[in-house]
């Protein structure tokens, strides 16, 4: 077990490095400059700024400067938000995204798993189809429609929650739901599919002939192997949800880290983008590790190392 973790951690380091290198290169070769604006900048000033942030010279040169900076623990400064270090920006925004994301993650699983299980158990009748339909519906509506619609409905029509902002617990409700809803559908569908497979297998039939009740059958016995596809999906899901979403953050005015993935690219803010991508990568590696470990736990047939 420990060897597995250590090996995974060791192989994660080149992944992190590769991600940062590719990300940096892509942002630098994309056309446009981080310093351009509607007012033209005179070339001397532009050159001065590029020299200041060590963005002159060929891309490998810039990359080398950047990597040696990271090796010293300095993730650089934002090019758009002058004077703010990337570490500071992420340090302020990440905890907020994590808070919101954790709640959304729990909602996704908390609603998704029962929905999927129920629709699989009731697959033969109308109820199952309706539940299945609901799951599909929740993942068919894009977030940029869903989020403003929930605001209109629950904030302006029903006056239940504030439409935006950050600071009070009741401002978390709508964004958490809007963030979680598409994933409720995906989780439900994956659980349902896995259960439908498992429910037809031998050991379940044995259990049924022994007289076990249906709910017990589904929950205690069928769910364990059926949930495997969901577990492997949940790894990237956790990483994604915890780092937030641009749309949710802009619609609900949440000062999280998710918007930097998009706004950073649009502003060609290469150090900020590489920094947040590195964080996202770390989350991804961590949660995939957890997911793989859980998978091995749930299905003894899988060996983590052969």
Task: State which of positions 62-121 bind other proteins (CB under 8 A).
Answer: 77, 80-84, 89, 92-93, 95-96, 98-99, 102-103
Interaction between residue 142 and other proteins (CB under 8 A): yes
Q: CA separation (Å) from 223 to 190, 233, 299?
A: 12, 16, 11
Interaction between residue 145 and other proteins (CB under 8 A): yes
CB of 105 to other proteins, least distance (A): 10
* DSSP state string for 133-182: HHHHHHHHS-HHHHHHHHHIIIIIIS--S-SS-SSSGGGSHHHHHHHHHH
CB of 71 to other proteins, least distance (A): 19
Interaction between residue 136 and other proteins (CB under 8 A): yes
* Span 266-295, contacts to other proteins by CB under 8 A: 266-268, 273, 277, 280-281, 284-285, 288, 295
- Interface stretch with other proteins, choices 59-67, 107-115, 143-151, 204-212 (CB under 8 A): 143-151
Interaction between residue 153 and other proteins (CB under 8 A): no
Q: 103 vs 211, which CB is nearer to other proteins? A: 103
How many Cβ atoms from other residues are within 10 Å of residue 43's Cβ?
A: 8
Closest-CA residue to 227 (of 271, 146, 151, 291): 291
Tokens for 85? Answer: 């270090």
Tokens for 171? Answer: 């401002």
Q: 103 vs 222, which CB is nearer to other proteins? A: 103
Contact 232, 291 (CB under 8 A): yes
DSSP three-state, residue 85? strand
Q: 2 vs 211, which CB is nearer to other proteins? A: 2
* DSSP state string for 34-58: TT--SSPPPHHHHHHHHHHTT--S-
* Span 11-50, contacts to other proteins by CB under 8 A: 11-12, 14-15, 18-19, 22-23, 26-27, 29-42, 44-45, 48-49
Q: Pick one of 6, 9, 52, 216: the residue that binds other proteins (CB under 8 A).
A: 52
Interaction between residue 132 and other proteins (CB under 8 A): yes
Tracing tokens 């899988």 back to the chain, one arrives at 302
């Amino acid at each position: 077990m420990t060897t597995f973790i250590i090996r995974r951690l060791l192989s994660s380091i080149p992944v992190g490095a590769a991600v940062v290198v590719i990300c940096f290169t892509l942002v630098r070769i994309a056309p446009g400059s981080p310093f351009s604006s509607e007012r033209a900048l005179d070339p001397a000033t532009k050159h001065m700024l590029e020299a200041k942030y060590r963005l002159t010279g060929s891309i490998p040169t810039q990359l080398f400067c950047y990597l040696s900076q990271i090796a010293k623990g300095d993730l650089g400064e934002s090019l758009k938000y002058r004077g703010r270090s990337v570490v500071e920006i992420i340090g302020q925004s990440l905890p907020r995204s994590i808070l919101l994301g954790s709640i959304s993650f729990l909602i996704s699983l908390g609603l998704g798993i029962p929905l999927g299980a129920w629709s699989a158990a009731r697959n033969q009748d109308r109820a199952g189809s309706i539940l299945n339909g609901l799951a599909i519906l929740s993942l068919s509506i894009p977030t940029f429609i869903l989020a403003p619609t929930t605001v209109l409905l629950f904030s302006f029509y029903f006056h239940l929650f504030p439409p935006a902002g950050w600071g009070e617990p009741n401002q978390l409700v709508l964004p958490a739901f809007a963030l979680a809803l598409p994933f409720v559908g995906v989780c439900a569908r994956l659980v349902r599919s896995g259960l439908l497979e498992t429910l037809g297998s031998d050991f379940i039939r044995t259990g049924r002939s022994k007289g076990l009740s249906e709910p017990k059958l589904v929950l205690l016995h069928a769910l364990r192997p059926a949930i495997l596809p969901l577990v492997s999906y949940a790894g990237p899901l956790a990483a994604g949800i915890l780092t937030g979403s641009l749309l949710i953050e802009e619609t609900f005015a949440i000062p999280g880290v998710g918007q930097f993935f998009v706004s950073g690219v649009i502003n060609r803010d290469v150090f900020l983008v590489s920094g947040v991508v590195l964080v996202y990568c770390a989350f991804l590696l961590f949660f995939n590790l957890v997911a793989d470990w859980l998978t091995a736990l749930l299905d003894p047939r899988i060996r983590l190392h052969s």
